[in-house]
Chains A and B, each alone.
Chain A
Amino acid sequence: MMSTLAMDAMSSVSLAHYLTTSAILFVIGLIGFLTRRNMIVMFLCTELMFQAAAIAMIAFGRFHLDVSGQVFVIFILTIAAAEAALALGLVVLLYRRRETLSAEAWSELREA
C-alpha cells in the first residue's frame, strides 16, 4: 500500500478537484431532476445527487484524515436503499393507476 500522503506529494490532485467534480455531478443531477419528466429517471437523478455528496464527504474526510466522512457515506447508502425501495414501490403503484410514468399525469395534485 502506498504511504498515506504519497498522493499529495507525487501528484497535483487537490481537494478542489474532488469538490469541483462533486459540484458538477450534483448540478447535473439537479438539472436532470428538473428537466426529465419520467418519474423513475427523476429518482435516478436524486441518486446522482447522493453520489455527488458522497464524493465530497469522502474527499473532505481524506484531506482531514478522518473516517467520519466514510461513515456518513454508509448512512447515505442506507438512505438511498430505503428511498429506492419505497419510491419504486410507489412508482409502480402510480403506474398501475394511470398507465404512464409521466410526472405530469399527476399534475392535479399541485396547487391550483
Chain B
Amino acid sequence: MNCRTVSVAGYGDDSYLCRTSSGVDSEFVRRLIRGPATTKASAWMDPSIPYTACVLGAASLYLLVRPGRPTVKVLAGLVGLTVFVWLATAAAGQLAGRGTWPEPFFLIFSVIAISAAVRMVTHTKPVYSALYFILVVLASAGMFLMLEAEFMAFALIIVYAGAILITYMFVLMLAQQAAEPGSEAEQAEYDRLPREPAAAVVVGFIMLALFTNMIFGPEDSVSQTLEPRYTEAEAATLAWNELDQMSILRDEMVDRYMEGRSPLKAEDNTSIVRVRDDGTAFVTVSPEGGAGATEDIDLPSSAKPVNVQRVGWALIAQFPVSLEVAGIILLMAMFGAVVLARRQIELGEAELHAAAGMSHYSDETDSTESDS
C-alpha cells in the first residue's frame, strides 16, 4: 500500500486522513473548511490592471450601447474583448504563476458568454436578445462542466434554454408590434434608443471595479481562497466520507465490488468505508457467521459518489425545507400565472357560445353550459 505523505503545511499527523466518517476529527474538518492557516496567495495583482480594464471596458460598452455607426461598434467590441482577455491573462500569470494563459476551454467559454451577453444587451431586436441569452446559457453550461457540476450544466440547458427562454420567445412574439411595411425604422422607438446609457455604464463599471477590488484586492478578501487548497488525497477523503454517509448507495457499492473477488459477504454494520491517507478506500469484511479472519477489500475510485448523487444527497439531507419551499413557490407561481391569464378574457355570452361551437343550441341548454 502506497501511503503517500500529504504535503499540506499544518498536517502533523497523517493518520487524520485514515479516520472513518464517524470518527472524523473536528480539527481535520475545520482545516478542510478553512484551509491551513498559512494559505495565502503568493503574489497579488497590481490593482491598476483591473481598474484600467474597467475604464476601457466601460468606454467600449458605452459605444456599444448607444446608437451609432456599425464600424464604431465593431471596433469597440474588439477593444472590449481584448481588454477581457488581457485581464484574464494577467490574472492567470500573476495569481497562478504557472503560465500566462488560462485554460483554452475557459477562455473560449467566457469569451462566448461575455460577448453574447454584450450582444444581448445591445441588440435592438428583442428576439435576438433572447437568442443571444441562450448562447450565454450554453456557454455557462460549458463552464459548469469545467467546474465538475455536470448535473447543473444539463439542468441549466433543459430548464433555462429549453423552458424559460422559450417562454420568453413566445411572449416576445405575442407582444411584438408588427413593423409597418415601408417605414424606415423597423423596430419600435423604445427598442432603438437606450435610456441613459452613460449613467448606466458608469454605475455598472464602478460596481465592477468594486467586484474586482474584492476579487484581486490585497487582504481579507475573496482572493485568500484563490489557491487550490486540497490535495487529491484530501478531496478523495471527502468523497469517501460522503459515500459513507449515503448508506444505501454505500452498501450497493460494497456488494457490487465484493462479487467475484471474495466469497465473503459484507455485513451491514461492518461495511463502513475507511480511507487511507493516499485517498484510496477499503472496507473490512468478515465471513458469514462471524467466524474466521476479516479481510480488507479495496474500493475502486469509480465507487465514489458522482455529481448527481452528491447533489441529490445534499438536497435531501441538508436542505429538505428549502426543497419544500421551492416546490411551494413553483406551485404559487403556477396559480398566479393561471389567475393572471384567465382574467383577461371577457367575452360576451354570444361569443362564448360561438367559441364552444354551440351557437345552434337553444337558450336553456346554453345558459346551463355557460354557467358551469
Interface set of A (CB-CB < 8 Å, partner B):
3-5, 7-8, 10-21, 23-32, 34-38, 40-41, 43-45, 47-48, 51, 54-55, 58-65, 67-71, 73-75, 77-86, 88-93, 95-96, 99-104
B164 touches A70 (CB 8 A): no
A74 and B188 contact, Cβ closer than 8 Å, known pairs A31-B65, A40-B172: no
- Which one, B8-16, B93-101, B270-278, is touching chain A? B93-101
A17 in contact with B106 (CB, 8 Å): yes
Residue B232 at the chain A interface, CB threshold 8 Å:
yes
Given contacts A14-B91, A91-B171, contact A67 B84 (CB under 8 A): no
**Partner of A21 from B95, B114, B343 at Cβ < 8 Å:** B114
Enumerate 15 A-B pairs (CB-CB under 8 Å) in ascending A order: A5-B228, A17-B88, A21-B113, A28-B204, A31-B65, A37-B191, A65-B235, A67-B310, A71-B322, A74-B152, A89-B336, A92-B340, A101-B177, A102-B189, A104-B190
Does any Cβ of A come within 8 Å of B207's Cβ?
yes
| Complex contacts, B238 vs chain A, CB 8 Å | 65
Among A5, A16, A20, the most chain B Cβ lie within 10 Å of the Cβ of A16
Which stretch of B115-123, B252-260, B287-295, B350-358 is in the interface? B115-123
15 more A-B residue pairs beyond the given contacts A67-B314, A73-B152, with a C-beta to C-beta distance below 8 A: A3-B232, A12-B98, A12-B102, A20-B215, A23-B211, A25-B136, A27-B205, A30-B207, A35-B194, A40-B168, A58-B147, A67-B310, A68-B319, A88-B167, A93-B343
Closest partner residue, chain A, to B109 (CB atom): A21
B208 and A24 form a contact (CB under 8 A): yes
Contact (Cβ within 8 A) B211 A101: no
Leading 4 A-B pairs by shortest Cβ distance: A82-B333, A32-B121, A34-B200, A12-B96
The answer, yes or no, to whether B59 is at the interface (CB within 8 Å) is no
| Max chain A Cβ within 10 angstroms of own Cβ: one of B88, B175, B205 | B175
In the complex, the chain A residue whose C-beta lies closest to that of B65 is: A35
Question: Which residues of chain A are within 8 angstroms of B230 by Cβ–Cβ distance?
Answer: 4-5, 65
- Asked if A38 and B151 make an inter-chain contact with CB atoms under 8 angstroms apart, the answer reads no
User: Contact: A100 with B190, CB < 8 Å?
Assistant: yes
- By a beta-carbon cutoff of 8 Å, the part of chain B in contact with chain A is 32-33, 57, 61, 65, 84, 87-88, 91-92, 95-99, 101-103, 106, 110, 113-114, 117-118, 120-121, 126, 129-130, 133, 136-137, 140, 143-144, 146-149, 151-152, 155-156, 159-160, 163-164, 167-168, 171-172, 174-177, 188-191, 193-197, 199-201, 203-205, 207-208, 211-212, 215-216, 222-223, 225-228, 230-232, 235-236, 238-239, 301, 307, 310-311, 313-315, 318-319, 322, 326, 329-330, 332-334, 336-337, 340-341, 343-344
Most chain B CB neighbours (cut-off 10 Å) among A18, A30, A32: A32
A82 contact from B235, B310, B330, Cβ within 8 A: B330
Q: Which A-chain residue is minimally distant from B231 (CB atoms)? A: A5
Task: Report the minimum CB–CB distance from B123 to chain A (whole Å).
Answer: 9
Contact of A51 among B140, B175, B225 (CB under 8 A): B140
Contact of B91 among A17, A38, A92, A104 (CB under 8 A): A17
Hey, which chain A residues are within 8 Å of B57, CB to CB? 24
| A74–B143 touching, CB < 8 Å | no
Contact A28 B159 (CB under 8 A): no
- Assembled-state Cα–Cα distance A60/B136 (Å): 20
